[in-house]
Structure 1
Amino acid sequence: MTAEGSAVVPEGAAVLVVDDVPQNLRLLDAVLSPRGFEVRCAASGEEALELLADGPLPDVVLLDVMMPGLDGYQTCRRIREDPRTQFVPVVMVTASGASEKVRAIEAGADDFVTKPFDQAELLARVRSLVRIKRYHDTVVAQAAALAEWNERLEARVAAQVDELGRLGRLRRFLSPQVAQLVVEGGDESFLRSHRREITTVFTDLRGFTPFAERAEPEETMDVLRQYHAALGELVFRYEGTLEHFAGDGMLVFFNDPVPCPDAPDRAVRMAVEMRTAVERLALGWRRQGHELGFGVGIAQGYATLGRVGFSGRYDYAAIGTVTNLAARLCAMAGPGQVLVTQRVLDGVEGPVLSRELGPVELKGISRLVDVHEVLDVDLVRPEAAR
């Protein structure tokens, strides 16, 4: 085999030979087929365009110039006008005249060979254009894959942005763990109004109003920053739902939106830890001349819960006597006191040290309430704060 005949042909390389002379078709087939090319033949420009429109695209078109009907120049122009075939390499088979070569290039031909053609030259040009066509096909395929990948990426980014938006909204009132759980589950039905038994914790600072009146605004903001940071960490650790905080007041509840059978236990243990945390902060505040105490009220009962607000600004709220009761107990509490109802006390698991204050009349509550002060609980229970 000659050197030109041993050159590697890309697998499946196809050549469409277009000539109205059957002898020329047979000759080109005899040159190309033994070298590994798949040869397809068309006897006219019209037939060539039909094959290109209906069948798989070849890697190269060998196009004779002089043909009846559509000649080679017209056929080449039609190939270039069709978006499907505009990048298929075309080799014009011309006479030796320079004017025909110029016309071939103007018609859109990529190369040309002259009659009578040299087999080695023809094969070299065809192989070169097949490689170029394969490079082009690779680039097109990669561009399509990149476009598809970008589309999928954009969809994922949009989904993640939406998820982050939902997570951000939920984190306004849920612990990070619970908010993530809700987002991953994709269920926001809990935002609709519903009724459930909850344990409510209301906290505030004793002596805050007179402190805020005489302190500089920067001092007030610094105290609130420390206070909110300490209590917020505990709310998240115990997986409570933060209903709201306003100034020194904070309302947290348990057993909604995620049910927890140990809601009273979590509430009391969280409150006791909050008291300890605020006592540590109060040491520093006293050195600055600020006398601030900490009071907590905890109640258990049914409430209506759900999203309240307007477009662009929503909160997750609990409405019912139980929240008022917790607020009244908090208002009654002195510095360092955690006041709870009998029902809450009964729900605390493990040892609890408490003091009974007896039936108490509370503002806005029509019945007497059995109130207890929680002095201490057994905090050596790591599962209480998952």
Structure 2
Amino acid sequence: MTARILVVDDEPDLEVLIVQKFRRQIRDGAVIFLFASDGVDALSVIDGNSDIDMVLCDINMPRMDGLSLLEKLQQAEGQQLSTVIVSAYGDMANIRTAMNRGAFDFITKPIDFADLETTIAKTLKHREVLHEAHRRQAVAERAHASLSRYFSPNLAERLAGDADGLALAGQWREVASLFTDITSFTTLVETIDPATLGALLNDYLAGMTDVVFAHEGTVAKIVGDALHVLFGAPGEQQDHAARAVACALELDALSQSFRDSWRDKGVAVGTTRIGVHAGPALVGNFGGGRFFDYTAYGDTINIAARLESANKQLGTRICVSGSAAARVDGFRGRPVGDLILRGRAEALRAFEPLSSKQYDDPSTASYLEAFGRLEAGDANAVTAFAAQIGKCPDDQLASFHLKRLLNGAKGTRISLD
């Protein structure tokens, strides 16, 4: 690559000397020298040659001196020239001023051409390093902008800034896993036209992922309308469970608002069900080296998915495991029961998380009283749940328990298909 160097000096013999001393490098195409007699001429040359790499500039010149030229170059937008100042050995005050104005180096008069050659080589090497740094920054910024369209900001930032980021495989981490799914979405797909479906799905997923990103979650996978979200990966989050529960509540509120807005357009969208569980999981990029597939595996992930599915039988919209709830300071919610999930023999305590407003509502206290009777084996639990439904006819979870009790079930242990 040919280096282009602008020499700014009012000594008429300097151009001849430089061409003579660097004749081999000029002949080999390693360097091209341009010349200007003062700062005014230099600015004109720079305007007509955007590919200049370096400026070798005297300080004392007519019309515009070297210090003024340096100031102009500093003020120019997008100008990234490396400048070497030439001055008399005793003129240290001006040399110091030049360095403060952005000069990279200086040489003294009379010019030692061996020193000049070394200084030029060092300056051009410095410029190469700067070019590479700017190139890497530009690549990272483009990568981050592209990745942010598909991945959560924390994952996109890590991948864009880390050349080895795609090898994020095989790490056991403590995470919170969150699953969402729209009830009867397959039926909806079969009953509306593709254009409406596309607008609906894009609107829904944009809103849901915005909520996830606001809580600094990572969208591990989107399949149709369903989302799998991770907290605590790829970056560690000590409060991953609290983030997941808060995110679940906000996702629920958004999905309810979304259903209302599309119902007004004549489209009946099903309820969004959400499951949350916290525990260890194997996380990383499992795309086989050819595809990027940042996801998670393990019992924690399976339980979260089954809790999401359990909402259908329980009548709830959000189901959070006791493991996740225990990790949230001041968790507020209603106990669902001790669930025997499909494929598991051990019971898992589950909760329906509530907002502060919901938790403080008197209906929550009456539900907790009824559940306490159920947990204690009190026969009056039936009456308590019936009273709860009388006050809150839309309380699906209370209805679920009342039906169980009326069908002869006892206690809080619940087997789910």
Look up the match of 2:271.
293
Find the partner of 2:222 among 214, 224, 245: 245
Distance 2:10 2:185 in 1: 84
Q: Which runs of 4+ in 1 moved over 4 A?
A: 10-15, 82-86, 138-142, 146-154, 181-187
Is 1:321 the counterpart of 2:295? The answer is no
Distance 1:184 1:315 in 2: 18
Look up the match of 1:224.
201
* Unaligned runs of at least 5 residues, structure 2: 1-8, 28-35, 55-80, 83-123, 359-417
Q: Tell me the amino acid that sits aligned with residue 283 of structure 1.
A: D
Q: Residues 79-90 of structure 1: matches in 2 within 5 Å?
A: none
- Is 2:169–2:286's contact at 8 Å kept on the other side of the alignment? no
Q: Residues 324-335 of structure 1: matches in 2 within 5 Å?
A: 324-334=302-312
* Unaligned runs of at least 5 residues, structure 1: 1-9, 16-55, 61-78, 87-129, 380-386
Q: Tell me the amino acid that sits aligned with residue 298 of structure 1.
A: V
How many aligned positions are there? 266
Q: CA RMSD in A?
A: 4.0
Look up the match of 1:361.
340
Distance 2:317 2:172 in 1: 30
Q: Residues 211-290 of structure 1: matches in 2 within 5 Å?
A: 211-287=188-264, 288-290=266-268
Q: Residues 104-119 of structure 1: matches in 2 within 5 Å?
A: none
Distance 2:185 2:172 in 1: 34
- Is 1:351–1:377's contact at 8 Å kept on the other side of the alignment? no
Look up the match of 1:304.
282
What SS does the corresponding residue of 2:178 show, helix, strand or coil?
strand
Look up the match of 1:30.
none
Write the deviation string for residues 155-181 of structure 1: whole angstroms up to 9, x where unpaired.
345313431354357546753256336
- Is 1:306–1:317's contact at 8 Å kept on the other side of the alignment? yes
Q: Which structure has the greater CA radius of gyration? A: 1
* Deviation, structure 1 residue 368: 2.1
Look up the match of 1:346.
326
* Deviation, structure 1 residue 376: 2.5
Distance 2:181 2:286 in 1: 23
Distance 1:256 1:170 in 2: 16
Identical counterparts, % of pairs? 25
* Deviation, structure 1 residue 227: 1.1
Is 1:158 the counterpart of 2:129? The answer is no
Distance 1:367 1:172 in 2: 40
CA 1:59–1:168 in structure 2 vs 1: closer, same or farther (change >3 Å)?
closer
- Is 1:353–1:377's contact at 8 Å kept on the other side of the alignment? no
* Deviation, structure 1 residue 219: 1.9
Distance 1:11 1:204 in 2: 76
- Is 2:154–2:235's contact at 8 Å kept on the other side of the alignment? no
Find the partner of 2:353 among 374, 379, 382: 374
Distance 1:229 1:321 in 2: 29
Q: Residues 113-192 of structure 1: matches in 2 within 5 Å?
A: 143-145=52-54, 155-164=132-141, 166-167=143-144, 171=148, 174-177=151-154, 179-180=156-157, 183=160, 188=165, 191-192=168-169
Write the deviation string for residues 258-294 of structure 1: whole angstroms up to 9, x where unpaired.
1111111110111101110111110122221314111
- Is 1:173–1:315's contact at 8 Å kept on the other side of the alignment? no
CA 1:207–1:154 in structure 2 vs 1: closer, same or farther (change >3 Å)?
same
What SS does the corresponding residue of 1:196 show, helix, strand or coil?
strand
- Is 2:181–2:227's contact at 8 Å kept on the other side of the alignment? yes
- Is 2:178–2:230's contact at 8 Å kept on the other side of the alignment? yes
Find the partner of 2:178 among 187, 196, 201: 201
Q: Tell me the amino acid that sits aligned with residue 179 of structure 1.
A: A
Write the deviation string for residues 213-248 of structure 1: whole angstroms up to 9, x where unpaired.
111122222221111011111111100111111111
CA 1:293–1:152 in structure 2 vs 1: closer, same or farther (change >3 Å)?
same
- Is 2:166–2:285's contact at 8 Å kept on the other side of the alignment? no
- Is 1:235–1:242's contact at 8 Å kept on the other side of the alignment? yes
Distance 1:302 1:240 in 2: 16
Write the deviation string for residues 308-339 of structure 1: whole angstroms up to 9, x where unpaired.
11455211110111111111111111476110
Provide TM-score, normalisation by structure 2: 0.54
Q: Tell me the amino acid that sits aligned with residue 337 of structure 1.
A: R
